[in-house]
């Protein structure tokens, strides 16, 4: 290919990248009038038009060495990647750098309006030429930040540098534009964020899907029946369900990906039935159905028992308090279908209570998109892959995953999403992804997809209450800044107050305190306790801001007062007293503002308008309102009850079971009571839920889903939207943040890319697909083997750790004073330990793992929660530690680590006595 043919071929790339005025000074073969024409076009018509003219003139040049001069001019001007791409005729890297430009273009209105270029130019080290930087600064100086930011984006979106996008996101983070970073940063857009937003304590099975199993219903009689060449069917499937089931019924490892409400549970029951019928007396089949939460396991067990009740196959469940070693051993041995949480299976495989995965012949992974990182699904499949790759002849179970969306991982572009899907397939050893292709029209006829709307609402014009709280936060932050250099403590910058990112900063500071090491131990203890105490107060103020922004001032004040009124002065140190005094100085002002007739919250007014319009149109409407935090859920419930026009909705709150930040979760019975009230005639018409209701909850009558500034990733969008199953359902995002509205549009765009990516993968030659999957699996196996080798070398040192209180950092005990009870309870055998503790009655005494939990243990100095005091097999007063209540100091290396950072390293230091009864307890 000639040099001019190369330029002609890649002309489009070049004209979309270069700024002609930056390279003209390095080109000698243009006449002066040609140079003036190019510069004039750049000024009058823009960079692309000028670049197009430049390319046309270059293609007419005949001077010797013109091509090398052009390449050198690109390099001299700073377009090194473009020059290298032309020289190698390989634009792959530039194409990859282009994929995020569409995302930034969509966000450009927010970026131009909200970002000052001076805040980020200092930190933006990639993507701009020096001449462009100078031009941006000049435009900003002369015409203002909006024009300067427009110029910056214009230049950045023409960059040839593959690193431009990450550099841009990092510069926004350094400039403290955290809300925009949340939208843009693919490295931070994960499903494992802290706080209430990631609550996954409960999900309910798709009960409506099971209705199609009933052959007597009018709807069921209208459906066509289909049979394979196997035994009589337990379930009668629609055509599209047959299509979904077919690969798994042929024995293939399969990911079944179909929309919420399409009947994946029906498909699973049918696959299970046909699989069991293929067993013989000599080779019986055994099925495990894994679901992430106890309530979901309970419902799935009930469903399987219902539909296998008149057959020879028996169903049991292993979850909650029915998971003693004996119960698991007997359950797996005696039953044909075992419903359990993945953690139970993982633990019992690790301790060989279940001999191996070959115990089962088929395993279902419900919500299989969770097979990532350190999830138990991943741990189980790593055991599976180690067996498969280490001993190919060993028997292994068939794997079937169920999901409504495979998600995007951390990727936001088509290439990255495809790689994420390949990795998920490799993790589940998938032979095929089963989706509806042939019977799409039938699927659309039976699956309700709610109409999606977005309502952008203005925030309050002024909020003096919030101003006082912001002032209190600034005061506490100044104490934090004087206590220790935060830049040395954490790399996460302090974010905008009143945001989830600010909460993450608090979590990171507290986590870093646990591993902080100073030469002066007493100084270290004082610094750490001071930082932890201050950030705990900042956490409460941050929650207060969120409530004030999204609900009423009076609710925000109530939340703050509950916290400060419940503090126990008996455990105050100097910092506690100072922080309490700071609040008390402003208490009366805050109370006065809360009592005043302050401006109504526009978001609440809009929410009320939505309710009134919907219930006027359809009085029998059932609504799920998703909110970010538990405290906000309670605040909005109180507002609804106290608003006369809305009180008839009889709101109920649904939160998870996990206790967080001294807020007790809901019991299983309370959760069930709330859902029953929501489903019943004459009961609640409004369910206010945290992310606990994202997955699986299925209420046939729910026809309105409201997202109250509640935005996540693609999977969260699909799941929340899918809660509306009734005819003419609607899903509405109510937000005061433009970036949230843009994020939701991006999610919709990415959802489409996910489906398109799956279709492309399905079209790939099957042998090529399997080859790629195997390559990923082999690479992951090499990583695991290397990590194991490193772990073995570390184990050569039998290290002892001091367990330090996570708040005041006094030494509670040492790791060689711990014993492992029932595989996962860590018991202290030190006689002096009790003298360091406060004991109070357990609010909900219970039995678990044959242990009677009788009392709560807390630090005698600062009252931090340390765990429980229990009784086991007649042994009294066994201190069972809550590991995240402590920091761990390695006596040999003097290195401090948190439990989260250390992982299972501390298990190696915990002894496993064969006869606990022989130990002399305190």
What are 430-439's pLDDT values in tens digits? 999 999 999 9
3-class DSSP state of 285: coil
Percent composition of the chain: helix, strand, coil (DSSP 3-state, to 5): 55, 15, 35
- Assign 190 a pLDDT band (cuts: 50, 70, 90): very low
Statement: residue 386 has pLDDT above 70: yes
Specify the higher pLDDT residue, 601 or 325: 601
3-class DSSP state of 44: helix
How far apart CA 427 and CA 352 sit, in angstroms, is 22
Point out the least confidently predicted range of 542-546, 582-586, 634-638, 914-918: 914-918
How confident is the model over 299-327, as a mean pLDDT? Answer: 82
Could you give the count of Cα atoms lying within 13 Å of 251 in the half-sphere of its Cβ?
A: 7
Neighbours of 873 (CB within 10 A): 10
- Assign 716 a pLDDT band (cuts: 50, 70, 90): low
How confident is the model over 515-524, as a mean pLDDT? Answer: 82
How confident is the model over 330-334, as a mean pLDDT? Answer: 88
Query: Which pair of structure tokens corresponds to residue 437?
Result: 């292709």
| Mean pLDDT, all residues of the chain | 81
DSSP-assigned beta bridge partners for residue 653? 688
pLDDT in tens, 745-765: 777 777 788 888 899 999 999
Longest dimension (CA), the chain: 99
Centroid of chain to Cα 249: 32
As a whole-number percent, the residues of the chain with pLDDT over 70 amount to 84
Q: In the prediction, which pLDDT does 771 show?
A: 94
Give Cβ neighbours of residue 102 (< 8 Å, ≥ 6 apart): none
Query: Which pair of structure tokens corresponds to residue 321?
Result: 């308090």
Statement: residue 680 has pLDDT above 60: yes
Specify the higher pLDDT residue, 160 or 100: 160
How confident is the model over 626-653, as a mean pLDDT? Answer: 90
Statement: residue 629 has pLDDT above 70: yes
- Assign 787 a pLDDT band (cuts: 50, 70, 90): confident
How far apart CA 770 and CA 779 sit, in angstroms, is 14
Q: Which residue has the tokens 């925000």?
A: 556
3-class DSSP state of 642: helix
As a whole-number percent, the residues of the chain with pLDDT over 90 amount to 24
- Assign 599 a pLDDT band (cuts: 50, 70, 90): low
Q: Which residue has the tokens 């019991």?
A: 667
Statement: residue 843 has pLDDT above 60: yes
Q: In the prediction, which pLDDT does 877 show?
A: 80
Point out the least confidently predicted range of 303-312, 465-474, 595-604: 595-604
Specify the higher pLDDT residue, 207 or 676: 676
Question: Is beta strand 432-434 parallel, antiparallel or unpaired with respect to 398-403?
Answer: unpaired
Statement: residue 68 has pLDDT above 80: yes
Give Cβ neighbours of residue 458 (< 8 Å, ≥ 6 apart): 602, 736
Backbone angles phi, psi at 661, to 5 degrees: 50, 45
Statement: residue 593 has pLDDT above 70: yes
How confident is the model over 271-295, as a mean pLDDT? Answer: 90
How confident is the model over 182-205, as a mean pLDDT? Answer: 41
- Assign 200 a pLDDT band (cuts: 50, 70, 90): very low
Specify the higher pLDDT residue, 256 or 794: 256
Element (H, E) at 146: helix 145-156
Statement: residue 473 has pLDDT above 90: yes
Q: In the prediction, which pLDDT does 198 show?
A: 35
Statement: residue 147 has pLDDT above 80: yes
- Specify whether the CB–CB gap between 857 and 868 falls below 8 A: yes
Statement: residue 383 has pLDDT above 70: yes
Give the sign of the dihedral formed by CA 98, CA 103, CA 109, CA 114.
negative
How far apart CA 732 and CA 685 sit, in angstroms, is 17
Centroid of chain to Cα 554: 31
CA trace torsion 357, 360, 362, 366 (10° rounding): -70
Domains of the chain: 3-89 (1.10.533.10), 93-185 (1.10.533.10), 239-446 (3.40.50.300), 451-456+601-759 (3.40.50.300), 464-589 (1.20.1320.30), 801-909 (2.170.150.30)
- Output the DSSP codes for 214-236: -TTSHHHHHS-----SSSPPSS-
How confident is the model over 82-97, as a mean pLDDT? Answer: 81
Q: In the prediction, which pLDDT does 874 show?
A: 67
How confident is the model over 475-490, as a mean pLDDT? Answer: 86
How far apart CA 258 and CA 209 sit, in angstroms, is 12
How far are the Cα atoms of 243, 245, 668, 852 from residue 440, in angstroms, in the given order? 10, 15, 38, 54
- Assign 192 a pLDDT band (cuts: 50, 70, 90): very low
Q: In the prediction, which pLDDT does 660 show?
A: 55
- Assign 223 a pLDDT band (cuts: 50, 70, 90): very low
Q: In the prediction, which pLDDT does 428 show?
A: 96
Statement: residue 637 has pLDDT above 90: yes
How far are the Cα atoms of 542, 832, 883 from residue 835, in angstroms, in the given order? 36, 6, 19
Q: In the prediction, which pLDDT does 620 show?
A: 86
pLDDT in tens, 868-911: 888 877 677 888 888 777 888 888 778 777 665 444 444 444 54
Q: In the prediction, which pLDDT does 372 show?
A: 86
Could you give the count of Cα atoms lying within 13 Å of 821 in the half-sphere of its Cβ?
A: 23
Point out the least confidently predicted range of 42-51, 134-143, 318-327, 556-565: 318-327
């Amino acid at each position: 290919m000639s040099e001019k043919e190369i330029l002609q071929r890649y002309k489009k790339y070049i004209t979309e990248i270069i700024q002609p005025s930056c390279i003209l000074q390095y080109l000698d073969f243009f006449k002066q009038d040609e140079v003036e024409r190019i510069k004039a076009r750049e000024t009058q018509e823009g960079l692309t038009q000028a670049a197009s003219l430049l390319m046309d003139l270059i293609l007419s040049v005949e001077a010797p060495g013109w091509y090398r001069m052009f390449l050198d001019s690109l390099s001299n001007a700073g377009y090194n990647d473009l020059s290298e791409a032309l020289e190698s005729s390989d634009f792959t890297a530039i194409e990859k750098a282009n994929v995020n430009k569409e995302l930034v273009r969509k966000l450009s209105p927010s970026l131009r309006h909200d970002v000052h270029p001076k805040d980020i130019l200092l930190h933006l080290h990639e993507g701009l030429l020096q001449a462009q930087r100078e031009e941006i600064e000049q435009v900003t100086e002369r015409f203002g930040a909006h024009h300067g930011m427009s110029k910056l984006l214009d230049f950045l979106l023409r960059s040839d540098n593959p690193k431009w996008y990450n550099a841009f996101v990092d510069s926004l983070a350094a400039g403290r534009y955290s809300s925009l970073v949340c939208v843009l940063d693919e490295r931070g857009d994960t499903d494992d964020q802290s706080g209430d937003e990631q609550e996954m304590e409960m999900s309910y099975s798709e009960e409506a899907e099971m209705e199609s199993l009933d052959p007597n219903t009018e709807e069921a009689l209208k459906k066509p029946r289909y049979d394979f060449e196997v035994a009589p069917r337990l379930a009668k499937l629609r055509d599209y369900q047959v299509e979904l089931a077919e690969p798994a019924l042929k024995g293939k490892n399969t990911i079944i990906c179909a929309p919420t409400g399409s009947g994946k549970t029906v498909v699973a029951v049918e696959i299970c039935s046909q699989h069991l019928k293929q067993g013989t007396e000599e080779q019986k089949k055994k099925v495990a159905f894994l679901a992430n939460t106890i309530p979901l396991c309970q419902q799935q067990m009930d469903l399987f028992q219902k539909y296998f009740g008149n057959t020879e196959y028996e169903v049991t469940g292993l979850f909650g308090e029915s998971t003693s070693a004996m119960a698991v051993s007997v359950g797996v041995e005696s039953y044909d279908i075992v419903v359990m949480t993945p953690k139970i299976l993982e633990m019992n495989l690790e301790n060989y209570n279940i001999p191996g995965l070959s115990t089962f012949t088929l395993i279902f992974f419900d919500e299989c998109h969770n097979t990532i990182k350190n999830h138990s699904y991943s741990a189980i499949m790593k055991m599976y892959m180690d067996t498969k790759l280490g001993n190919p002849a060993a028997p292994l179970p068939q794997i079937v995953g169920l999901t409504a969306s495979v998600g995007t991982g951390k990727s936001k572009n088509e290439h990255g999403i495809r790689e994420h899907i390949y990795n998920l397939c490799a993790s589940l050893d998938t032979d095929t992804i089963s989706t509806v292709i042939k019977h799409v029209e039938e699927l659309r006829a039976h699956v309700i997809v709610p109409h999606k709307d977005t309502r952008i609402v203005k925030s309050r014009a002024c909020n003096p209450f919030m101003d006082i709280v912001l002032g209190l936060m600034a005061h506490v932050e100044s104490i934090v800044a004087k206590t220790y250099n935060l830049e040395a403590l954490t790399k996460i910058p302090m974010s905008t107050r009143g945001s989830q990112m600010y909460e993450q900063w608090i979590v990171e500071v507290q986590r870093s305190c646990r591993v902080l090491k100073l030469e002066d131990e007493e100084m270290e203890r004082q610094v750490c306790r001071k930082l932890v105490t201050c950030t705990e107060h900042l956490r409460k103020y941050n929650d207060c801001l969120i409530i004030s922004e999204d609900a009423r001032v009076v609710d925000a004040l109530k939340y703050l007062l509950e916290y400060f009124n419940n503090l126990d002065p008996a455990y105050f140190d100097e910092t506690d007293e100072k922080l309490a005094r700071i609040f008390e100085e402003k208490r009366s002002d805050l109370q006065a503002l809360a009592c005043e007739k302050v401006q109504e919250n526009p978001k609440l007014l809009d929410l009320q308008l939505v309710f009134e319009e919907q219930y006027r149109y359809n009085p029998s409407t059932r609504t799920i309102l998703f909110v970010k935090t538990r405290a906000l859920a309670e605040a909005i419930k109180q507002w609804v009850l106290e608003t006369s026009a809305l009180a008839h909705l009889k709101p109920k709150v649904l939160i998870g079971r996990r206790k967080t930040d001294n807020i007790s979760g809901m019991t299983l019975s309370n959760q069930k009571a709330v859902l029953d009230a929501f489903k019943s005639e004459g009961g609640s018409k409004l369910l206010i839920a945290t992310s606990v209701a994202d997955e699986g909850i299925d209420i046939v009558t729910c026809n309105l889903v409201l997202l109250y500034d509640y935005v996540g990733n693609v999977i969260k969008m699909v799941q929340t939207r899918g809660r509306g199953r009734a005819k003419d359902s609607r899903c509405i995002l109510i937000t005061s943040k433009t970036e949230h509205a843009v994020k939701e549009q991006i999610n919709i765009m990415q959802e489409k890319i996910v489906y398109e990516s799956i279709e492309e993968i399905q079209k790939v030659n099957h042998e090529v697909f399997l080859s790629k999957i195997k390559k990923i699996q082999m690479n992951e196996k090499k990583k695991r083997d290397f990590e194991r080798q490193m772990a073995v070398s570390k184990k050569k040192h039998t290290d002892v750790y001091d367990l330090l209180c996570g708040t005041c950092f006094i030494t509670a005990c040492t790791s060689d004073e711990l014993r492992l009870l029932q595989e996962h309870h860590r018991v202290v055998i030190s006689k002096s330990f009790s003298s360091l503790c406060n004991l109070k009655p357990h609010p909900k005494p219970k039995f678990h793992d044959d242990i009677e939990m009788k009392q709560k243990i807390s630090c005698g100095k600062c009252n931090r929660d340390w765990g429980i005091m229990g009784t086991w097999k007649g042994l009294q007063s066994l201190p069972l530690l809550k590991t995240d209540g402590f920091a761990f100091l390695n006596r040999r290396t003097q290195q401090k680590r948190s439990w989260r950072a250390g992982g299972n390293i501390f298990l190696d230091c915990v002894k496993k006595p064969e006869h606990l009864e022989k130990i002399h307890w305190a």
